[in-house]
Amino acid sequence: MTPDELLELLKSKSNARKQRSLDIVSGICKEQLDRSSRDFSIATIGRLSSEQGGPSPQTIRNKGGDDFRTLIATWAEHSKGAMKKPPKIQESGISSILGKISDPAVRSIVGSILAANSKLQREVNLLKQQAEIVIDRRTIPLSTTKYQDPQLTGIIESLTPTELAALSHAISTELMEQEGWKIEKNGRIINSHGRTIFKAGFTIALEKILGYKLN
């Protein structure tokens, strides 16, 4: 049965209002055929129909829209189209750029460069997914004299770079000069008046944690 024959059959069983809606839907399907469009999806036909005062996509999908769907399906088959909206074919970025270059030689050179760049970018992205890079920002002490106490290993590893930097600053020459403090041989820190700031053993303990001696 042709679309036109089906249309007349459906209209013979419908009231005036539905007859008008069937005519609109059928007319739109014919326009799709005339413009060589294969898109007979309910979304497209319904949108075009509603713009002309016909049934909307939702009306066509509803239970009472059987006649509309049958009519559209017949037109789709007649036109070798499809009721599923065809996927959009997106032009690649490289093709879009090359299409704007008229000189064949230049187009070939630019195409090679863009293809190579695209390949490198994919390789970089792949490496990013497979590799985990850990950067240690902690300052390495200049002194080579290190404590080798294994009991301190867990403590040192648990400290963050910020915490290590804070401990290092507490016994730094810079801080001593700013505050007018002095470090005694027993590890005690005193101020310019001889008053104890940190008790004996303080700097020695920090040196063990940091892993190097001040002197």
Tens digit of each residue's pLDDT, the chain (215 residues): 899 999 999 999 999 999 999 999 999 999 999 988 889 999 999 999 999 999 999 999 998 899 999 999 999 999 998 888 766 555 556 666 666 676 666 666 666 666 666 677 777 777 766 655 555 555 544 444 444 455 555 556 666 777 777 777 778 888 888 889 998 888 889 998 889 888 888 888 777 777 666 55
Judgement on whether residues 191 and 157 belong to the same structural domain of the protein: yes
Judgement on whether residues 101 and 37 belong to the same structural domain of the protein: no
Judgement on whether residues 54 and 121 belong to the same structural domain of the protein: no
Judgement on whether residues 19 and 61 belong to the same structural domain of the protein: yes
Count up the domains in the chain and report the number.
3
Is 23 a domain residue? yes
Judgement on whether residues 100 and 59 belong to the same structural domain of the protein: no
Judgement on whether residues 68 and 116 belong to the same structural domain of the protein: no
Judgement on whether residues 72 and 97 belong to the same structural domain of the protein: no
Q: Where are the alpha helices (DSSP H) in the chain?
A: 3-12, 16-34, 42-51, 57-61, 66-78, 93-98, 104-130, 153-158, 161-170, 173-179, 202-210
- Tell me the C-alpha distance between 140 and 35, whole Å: 74
Is 24 a domain residue? yes
- Tell me the C-alpha distance between 23 and 15, whole Å: 12
Is 139 a domain residue? no
Is 66 a domain residue? yes
Is 48 a domain residue? yes
pLDDT value of residue 53: 93
Is 101 a domain residue? yes
Judgement on whether residues 13 and 74 belong to the same structural domain of the protein: yes
Judgement on whether residues 43 and 105 belong to the same structural domain of the protein: no
Q: Which range marks the domain in which residue 109 is found?
A: 93-130
Is 137 a domain residue? no
Judgement on whether residues 68 and 8 belong to the same structural domain of the protein: yes
Q: pTM, whole model, 2 decimals? A: 0.42
- Tell me the C-alpha distance between 91 and 78, whole Å: 30
Judgement on whether residues 70 and 103 belong to the same structural domain of the protein: no
Chain-centre distance of CA 204, in angstroms? 50
Is 193 a domain residue? yes
pLDDT value of residue 5: 94
Which strands, in side-by-side order, build the sheet including 196-198?
182-183, 189-190, 196-198
Judgement on whether residues 64 and 113 belong to the same structural domain of the protein: no
